[in-house]
Amino acid sequence: KRFVILISGRGSNMQAIVNMAKKRDDIHIAAVISHKPNSVGLVWAKEQGIETAELLHKSYPTRESYDEALRDLVLSYQADYVILAGFMRILTEVFIEPFKGRLINIHPSLLPSFTGLDTHERAIVEGVKVHGCTVHFVTPVLDVGPIIAQAIVPVHKKDDADTLAARVLTMEHQVYPAVVDYLAQDLLSLHNQQVEYKKPVT
């Protein structure tokens, strides 16, 4: 299966996925794309010999015109799945529609709690005792969409947003490659807005 990964900067989730894919001949990372100039993640991907592209949102007058260009670029790589890995841009219908059931995101909270930004800070303010991350299919509503997998971490009394983010991130690096592995093996798919598994995600 062919995967295109979209990032915004650091790309540590992308790196975890690429490192997993290296051991597999049924997973091909067709391209890594960033919407920001000089992303650390893009430099790393290039060093790994992966095709990379920068499509800078600043060069487009409207969100739709950018999303159209991004859609066409991603389509040119003939991806089976599009993986949003720390891609910090809201995508419109124009992009989402052609990749229905093939577009996946990771969000750093246990959805439906804490959609949007600053999830770790908000989790601490709310005093929740567990927190985590969610991998889900993308639908046009932000951070909503059929949940594929979640990973849970404890919130400790001494945590600040950074220590909590780091704990969640180590789980993100496990759960996202695991989901990509399942997709590559056709073990999960989206039908009528429901996730169907041939085998539970562990």
Q: Does 134 bind ligand GRF (CB under 6 A)?
A: no
The radius of gyration computed from the CA coordinates of the chain, to the nearest angstrom, equals 16
CA distances from 126 to 107, 138, 153, 196 (A): 18, 26, 16, 33
Q: Which stretch binds ligand GRF (CB under 6 A): 53-61, 70-78, 105-113, 151-159?
A: 105-113
Q: Does 12 bind ligand GRF (CB under 6 A)?
A: yes
**Residue selected from 3, 4, 6, 11 as contacting ligand GRF according to rule CB under 6 A:** 11
Q: Is 107 a catalytic residue?
A: yes
Q: Does 106 bind ligand GRF (CB under 6 A)?
A: yes
Pairing of strands 194-197, 81-84: unpaired
Q: Which residue is nearest to ligand GRF (CB)?
A: 86
Determine phi and psi for 151, rounding to 5 degrees.
-130, 140
CB 40, min distance to ligand GRF, A: 9
Pairing of strands 2-7, 28-34: parallel
CB atoms within 10 A of CB 15: 21
Residues of this chain that bind ligand GRF (CB under 6 A):
7, 9-13, 85-86, 106-108, 133, 169, 172
Q: Which residues are catalytic?
A: 107
